Chains A and B, each alone.
Chain A
């Protein structure tokens, strides 16, 4: 479950926080499944599952009983009914949101969980199975609802929680409410998914893994995410069979939508991912229904391959070559964080025998530049490394600034890792010095027709716990704590009493989380009133700070972005 350790240095803090969170979420979402979870008879129809999920709570009760609990007092039943009602509403809301955000995704993931649960009890007893699945799905959705922490759902949410946790640890969760920075209220959609539990059953294992990798920043960076998504989708398409009665062009899009919805719950999709998915969907819908399925699938896979090749692999090579021409002997290149295309550019220039120095500026909490520094230093480049606080020192003797991009907006702004704007600004505002050219390397697949004036309206907010520095030594104890809490949790769960099982692992994991970050004064920030942490992912650099955008279609000023975007999407 823990992210596979990758060369991406950014994964370390992320993994730390993910570890800290995991027991938490497992306690909430992971524990209920044991009685029902023996999956893989995937014949149960998704439609059925979705139906089951929206059925009245009365039947859900039966499902829960089926899930283990034999005797319930009337009050408990009432509470449960209430909880499930709340959960259902939260889930419906979630589905709606996902449908909006994830590019028309169909059934929500929690419905899919219901399906998975139903599969567990098998086809022999369809009604009860349906109910069981539904109960589980509802519970899961309740958990998601909790994570989302919607304001209007607060009272209902509270009651659901009381049932779930036996009224134990309501306090810290409630505090989450005001942990949202007011200005960015619109960006706190749903919290990132913490487990694969509750993912729609249509979601392909490759996509499941990819989602978690993206969440943990194992796969990080606009290009990497785009390529990984496309490759995963290729596998989805390869293992896809068109159900009877539908056509591939119609059904595959909805099938992909499940994958996309799942991915977007792990981490909001990048612009490049969105563009790639749009192109893929366009291609799918243009598949002729008369073409046999195998041929259609082959053509789709070809399309994906050629998309990756044309838009990213070859594009990167073209950009690297043309950007490397801008580097001269004796240059001091400043770059920010770890852009793959900038890395390629610098390596290309180095291979061409150019002698220059690289100054990498890095930032918390991802430290992506560390990875870049390591690669460049291994290749033999002269690398200098400092953090954001050293920008003005690094820029002092710089001659050029190379920046990567997450996206280029249609008004010419560069939307990139937070801190990029500071670097570009410093390059342009050097006191009494000559302005330093700022060169952005960006594939056209990252161009978007959206516009942005500031970094507030459109942005992504990552988990603020990533900012709480965890000591590596203390993390060991935290992990051990979690391990200790695990068996206890399962024993309580085995008693068949799902709901009261939740609090103990939760408190345990909470303690584990504390010991993880014991060194930091921020460890209790969620319990500290009025204190908020903000972990932005991107910022928008004004167009006037960017001198040149190097793309595979040539080097342009930022004002040319919308034109090129139109050209590349129309062709």
Chain B
């Protein structure tokens, strides 16, 4: 959730703050420039920003037609993705929203489901894993989803059952919740569902879609805890676990296990791009200026739970791998073929683990799972600031040599033994199935 104090540097928190007040086009431009300037990095921050922006876009989109809505989201999505093509989560969220709209539109077309008034949606969403079925089972799915509200609003559906054409239902609905839209005039970002009521008044399909986006946002907030719930299934006592980078998902996963079991963590510091954050994570000192960390709720370091953490330079990974029981990695995004794009250095670690027959476990939220198939691996790799590799004190070198600082590595699927997502553990070969569960075919390349 956005920070309470106004952050000085532009980032996710400032973006979410400005989202409420700025006109929608400004917000879109704002996010695009933030993405371009890499002021929002990290998969989750990008995903959250995209989800909130689309929420806003849809609620401001004064259209009744699902196709127009799709077009609108597509055009915004294209611009966002063009701004930062390597942040694949942006595309993932856009695709999921598109999928939501299509689902709702199909439901609507089938007219099986009576349109309930949006006002009854104000009750908080039950946090649940989003399982958008690829084949929308119209009524069943939705009735399950809104079981709570259905009971209270079982009357209106009966009356509006015959009124299947969309415009009529819209007019009939306009009278009711219109007044409500002024009530949460500036929606509180704390409860996404509150926003749904605010702007989901124009047309029911949008209410449903906004509802769905709210669930995506909920999912983004809970994904780490959901993944962490599987920790005890995978970490046994006295294990030696190697990890890399300061991924919060991994940290929460390990923390969950640390509450019950004792093990040792070997932490490769991922110099030079993420070592400061890694050092901070390891030692439990949080640097305030880091946008990502201020966004995350402060958490205890592993060492506070009595877990021995050994910090090593990345180069010592091979030397220590023979002692490691399990490698647990975070990732930047997961691709449809089971490969992943993760922080630079991950590939050699995974490779070294393979050589030593050490299992490699990747923890990742489903939202990082991208339907993109990597035909050209190089296009996925982003290169970063060379001054991280050669500092200013060695400025004379920079003119003479070619300094490279790749930010990401492509790790092929065969190096990964297991993926743990918020839906459970999967083999890399199974990921395509989850992809098809979450994204509709027509949205994969838009």
Contact = CB atoms under 8 A, between A and B. Distances in A.
A449 interface: no
B72 interface: no
Nearest to A467: B313
A467 B270 CA distance: 12
A364 B315 contact: yes
B316 A390 contact: no
B404 interface: yes
A383 B404 CA distance: 11
Contacts of B322: 454-456
A538 B402 CA distance: 27
A318 B347 CA distance: 37
Contacts of A521: 276, 279-280, 282-283, 285, 287
A393 interface: yes
B189 interface: no
Interface residues of B, number: 59
B319 A383 contact: no
Interface of B: 269-273, 275-276, 279-280, 282-285, 287, 302-304, 306-320, 322-323, 343-345, 347-348, 351-352, 354-355, 381, 389-390, 393-394, 396-397, 400-406, 409, 412
Contacts of B316: 418-419, 534, 536, 539
B410 to A, nearest CB: 8
A390 B344 CA distance: 6
29 contacts: A363-B313, A377-B401, A378-B400, A384-B402, A384-B404, A386-B403, A387-B271, A387-B405, A389-B273, A390-B405, A392-B347, A421-B318, A425-B355, A426-B351, A429-B355, A455-B320, A456-B323, A459-B319, A521-B276, A521-B279, A525-B311, A531-B309, A533-B312, A534-B316, A536-B312, A536-B319, A536-B320, A539-B315, A539-B318
A365 interface: yes
Contacts of B272: 387, 389
Given A386-B406, A390-B405, A421-B319, A525 B283 contact: yes
A438 to B, nearest CB: 14
A76 B303 CA distance: 40
B313 A364 contact: yes
Interface in A131-170: none
A64 B323 CA distance: 49
A383 B401 contact: yes
Contacts of A524: 283
Contacts of B381: 393
A388 B314 contact: yes
A373 interface: yes
A472 B393 contact: yes
Given A181-B310, A456-B322, A521-B287, A530 B401 contact: no
Contacts of B308: 182, 530, 532
Contacts of B317: 422
Contacts of A530: 302-304, 306-309
Point out which of B275, B283, B309, B316 has the most chain A C-beta atoms below 10 A from its C-beta. B316
A388 to B, nearest CB: 4
A530 B316 CA distance: 20
Contacts of A417: 315
Given A528-B303, A531-B303, A389 B314 contact: yes
B319 A370 contact: no
B315 A418 contact: yes
A211 to B, nearest CB: 25
A548 interface: no
Interface in A268-312: none
A440 to B, nearest CB: 16
Contacts of B396: 374
B351 A429 contact: yes
B345 A455 contact: no
Given A389-B271, A418-B315, A373 B348 contact: no
Given A386-B404, A456-B323, A529-B303, A419 B315 contact: yes
Point out which of A385, A429, A525 has the most chain B C-beta atoms below 10 A from its C-beta. A385
Nearest to A358: B401
A212 interface: no
Contacts of B280: 521
Interface string A66-99: 0000000000000000000000000000000000
